[in-house]
């Protein structure tokens, strides 16, 4: 079931379209990545999703409602720029935010303790926030976002600047949300995080949708059908296959005439090669990001826009 349904969202500032006909869906129980370079429109989209801004045109439904204010109590939002009252304790802070979501004082305290335990901060619940590290404070802010048990969690750069221990703790919480059937929308510049944590993604570039779909499918879409092989022996020449040596015992193979993977492997073995590793080369999201948002992607976007204008 769609948790977020966006259709042809547009938003313009001083004649520049920050969002240009953006359409996508986020489905129940998935971790969904929102990615793109600086200035792509991610912040504008997040502000529309959280009812800080309204689109100039287009249609948006969240949790089945077109009036976002009616479901704000079911949404947890962790902004990139975070602010906590440093003189308060984690327990006081999370309880306060839970009360803002409508919980009674008693329920807010119980919810705060549970959320702090979830993020590994219950042992520090009564310390002052000013005594905590950045990573610990980040976990407290996440606990405040989770305490009222939102159906939809929107996280803006939640892992930015964190040490590996704190980053792993936050990742574990995100995976737990997915296991519980809750939905997470994760905005990030880090393609490694998106690749490791997310089921599907939306990539914006200059306000337009450039990539949208399952992470695995997108990576496969950008594959050049090349193969990585590790071996012992001397790799034989093969008709229809270009060989790029990567060292004394590894190479990248590029089929040039539609030669299949099985046939290539059979040729290698028949040629006396001891093959220890043989696998397709699938680009990382970071490599794809550079291709789409780098100079090559900029040229393609300009050509597409020019064609549409003509």
User: Domains of the chain: which residue ranges?
Assistant: 2-219, 224-280
The per-residue pLDDT of the chain, averaged, comes to 89
Three-state DSSP at 142 gives helix
Cβ atoms 31, 186 nearer than 8 A: yes
> Measured at the alpha carbon of residue 67, what is the angle toward residues 64 and 71, in degrees to the nearest 5?
65
Lowest mean pLDDT among 144-158, 165-179, 194-208: 165-179
Look up residue 300 and give its DSSP letter: H
- Tokens describing residue 285: 């999201």
Distance CA(208)–CA(10), nearest Å, equals 10
Residue 300's CB: how many other CB atoms inside 10 A? 14
Kindly state the average pLDDT of the residues 137-148. 90
Three-state DSSP at 180 gives coil
Q: What's the pLDDT at 169?
A: 82
Lowest mean pLDDT among 29-38, 79-88, 91-100, 114-123: 79-88
CATH of domain 2-219: 3.40.50.300
- pLDDT tens string 242-257: 999 998 899 999 998 8
Look up residue 123 and give its DSSP letter: G
Cβ atoms 18, 12 nearer than 8 A: yes
Distance CA(143)–CA(58), nearest Å, equals 33
Flag whether the pTM goes above 0.75.
yes
For 111, 120, 149, 306, the CA distances from 180, given in Å and listed in that order, are 16, 18, 11, 46
CATH of domain 224-280: 3.30.70
Reported as a pLDDT band with limits 50, 70 and 90, residue 96 is very high
Residues 6+ apart with CB under 8 A from 56: 10, 11, 12
pLDDT at residue 161 tops 80: no
Q: What's the pLDDT at 181?
A: 92
**30, 207, 51, 118 alpha-carbon torsion, rounded to 10°:** 30
Q: What's the pLDDT at 82?
A: 67
Kindly state the average pLDDT of the residues 139-145. 91
């Amino acid at each position: 079931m769609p948790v977020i349904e966006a259709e042809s969202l547009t938003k313009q500032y001083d004649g520049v379209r920050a969002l240009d006909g953006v359409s996508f869906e986020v489905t129940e129980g998935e971790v969904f990545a929102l990615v793109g370079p600086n200035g792509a429109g991610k912040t504008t989209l997040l502000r529309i999703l959280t009812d800080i801004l309204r689109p100039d045109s287009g249609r948006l439904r969240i949790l089945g409602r077109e009036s976002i204010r009616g479901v704000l109590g079911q949404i947890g939002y962790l902004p990139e720029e975070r602010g906590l009252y440093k003189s308060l304790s984690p327990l006081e802070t999370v309880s306060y935010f839970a009360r803002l979501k409508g919980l009674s004082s008693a329920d807010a305290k119980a919810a705060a303790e549970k959320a702090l335990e979830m993020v590994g901060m219950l042992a520090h619940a009564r310390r002052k926030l000013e005594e905590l590290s950045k990573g610990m404070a980040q976990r407290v802010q996440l606990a405040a976002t989770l305490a009222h048990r939102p159906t939809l969690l929107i996280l803006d750069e939640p892992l930015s600047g964190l040490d590996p221990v704190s980053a792993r703790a936050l990742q574990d919480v995100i995976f737990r949300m997915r296991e519980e059937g809750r939905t997470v929308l994760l905005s990030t510049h880090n393609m490694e995080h998106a690749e490791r944590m997310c089921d599907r993604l939306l990539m914006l570039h200059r306000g337009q949708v450039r990539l949208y779909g399952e992470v695995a499918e997108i990576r496969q879409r950008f594959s050049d059908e090349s193969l990585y092989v590790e071996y012992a022996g001397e790799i034989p020449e093969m008709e229809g296959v270009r060989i790029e040596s990567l060292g004394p015992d590894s190479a990248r193979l590029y089929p040039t005439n539609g030669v299949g993977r099985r046939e290539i492997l059979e040729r290698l073995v028949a040629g006396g090669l001891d093959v220890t590793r043989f696998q397709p080369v699938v680009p990382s999201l970071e490599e794809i990001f550079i291709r789409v948002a780098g100079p090559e992607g900029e040229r393609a976007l300009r050509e597409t826009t020019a064609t549409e204008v003509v």
